[in-house]
Structure 1
Amino acid sequence: MAGGIKVVQDTMINLLTNYPFYGALATSMQVVSAADFPYAAVKAGMPPVLYVNPDSLQGLRAPERLGVFIHELLHLILLHFGRQSGRDQKLWNIACDLAVNQLVLRGGEKNVTLPCDAITVHSLEKDLGIDLPRNAGAEVYYDILDKHLPRLKITVVNNQIKVELNVNGEKREYTASQILEGDDSNLDKELMKGYLNKLIEQAKQVGSMPGHLEVVLKDLYAPPQVDWRRVLRRFLAGRGKMLNQQTWLKESRRFEGFPGRSKRVGMTALLAIDTSGSISDNDLQVFLNEIRAVSKITGTKVWVTQCDVEPTAPIELKRFVKNPRFTGRGGTDFRPVFKMADEMHVPLVIYLTDGYGTAPEIVHQRVLWVLTKDHRVPADYGTSVVLGVS
């Protein structure tokens, strides 16, 4: 066991030294020794858990151990635990391994490989005698495997999936890992996605993400393509304080000839505009026109502040739209805006930004991130929409 533990430690050091992006991801996880798994496994959670079997890992070469660790990390950040959607679990695991193992080997590093019995696109298409697409997602491979299921004998032995098939009377055997969900069957997939996105961004500060992986993750972690105008209207239509106002549009029920009373729901929101330079004047004008129209319909009072590092004093929306001018154009820190919202006791914050900046760990408001086309999601809380998608 002592030798096995040293092997795990050496592999972590190797990742941090030579593959710092993956090393940073691995060190953000809880590492647990477990003899129940052939080599390693991951489980979604906050933090995620990386299970390792020190004794079995000791039997692998160093490049294979690196490949096993990267393989498991990829399962996690590719959200395979939350994409099964009713598919057969064993077949889904095999499809995920086909997708992941390509990414492990695609970097072309000489010092990273996989155990010899790991299932790959190249080996499976050769033995099945079919063409398999390269660099596809797990869903694509699942549909193909499902069509050839009668030719595959799939079993689970010691928490490892075994795939057998007959090739001209000769038995071929491959292995695939099992993907674990968190202990909580009601694990919030979107919350977990936001949490992992944050870990990925932190890991990118330590080491560069492989280019081929960045292409895959960009689409996977992109905010849903929804009409931002519809989301904005829904966001500002929540219940606020009931306002009683005097109006001459109707007569008082109690006193003839006197003004009546009107009741309406009033919300208060703080609109923060990122002035770091990512928002065009045209985008700003389109957004201001929409939020002004929505605020009139919903009775929302909107305060506007501009912020790069420090926010400007808030002014009412109707005053700001008369002469919208940017100030600042420096870096971005989101935290002062939320501090201002706390001091103003504002329940809603709308942030128009590219998302590149420092967000607070915890906020006390409902948050709508309205993001520019080239963006990153700044936090794992709130709702994110992309400006221009309609």
Structure 2
Amino acid sequence: MMERVTKARTRLLMSQPFFGVLALRLQIQEACDMDTMSTDGSSIFVNPDFVQQLSDDELIAVMAHEVMHCAHLHPYRREGRDLLLWNMACDYAINSILKESGFILPDGALLNQAYSGMSAEWIYADLLDKRDGQSPQSNSLDPGGCGAVTDPQESTGHEQTASDRKQKETAWKHAVIQAHQTAKASGRAPGGMDRLIRDIKKPKLDWRILLARFINARDHSDYSFSRPNPRFLHQDIFLPSLENQKLEELVIACDTSGSVSQEEIDQVNGELNAILQTVRPASVTVLHCDFEIKKVERFTPDSGTVTLEPVGFGGTDLRPPFDWCRENGVMPDAILYFSDLLSHQWPDVSPAPVLWITPNQRKAPIGETISLQYG
């Protein structure tokens, strides 16, 4: 079995040097506990029974598939997401590129043209929205049957430190650039790689990661002596306990002026459901606003799947949501404002940290601003 895998890697090197050069960076290890194959960024773990089921062309494609997980840094980008759903999202992100490059993927490979060119983070969020925040149920980590991706592991079996992971990630970036240059020089650079190379050379952080970090920064869980740790009280030892003060109140302001498209409104709806299911604040208040507050809705994580029906579509004034909070005595942990920012009416101050989420490159004069980026 190992000899056949090694021959497949050699054929990959000869026929598709970009993938082959990168495949040489990965150690091949037998792993009978895997259903198919997997990679953690350092090795390819191979189930011998799975290899026997594949044709030579399919085996080469699966090797390239594992290489693509590493080239796209998938082992380093999960950030706590559900591992099975993350594998599905990563497969959708790379399989269309592999198919375009002429690889013959095994039957059942996850392919969806709608996800072509999208990042794994964007696809993951879309899959999560479509499943009402629930992770898919499967007995296999690799529902597409092309090879899985796992978190980086040390040889001892423990997770790598943040510093080690960063070094590995940087090494892969350099390797991908060099492999692309080698393949390009031979006239056999695969299609669909230019965007990957561009993103590596000029990286941009997926806006969903920025959104998650902004919200998580508002989580006030901390150790406190106000409630001593009960595990040690019988020894007359007073140690702090973790006070889990999760987000109580989020306010989401939805710009429903005439300049906002239905696609942008749908985006707000999707993010609201993702926040309710993953962040699970005690309460989320949604304010529909054009030049004034047109509708107020409140939701909790128990509200189920939420479908917003915005009203307004008049002129734009971005001040009313902030005024509404003050007038109603609402002091949220954070305010998220989805808007195209096409307004001359801005608030002077905010009663809470505010994050503006916009589909363009405009920047709000107060708070933080992030652009919707899907690369």
TM-score class normalised by the smaller sequence: 0.3 to 0.5
Which of 1 and 2 has greater Rg?
1
TM-score by length of 2: 0.47
TM-score by length of 1: 0.45
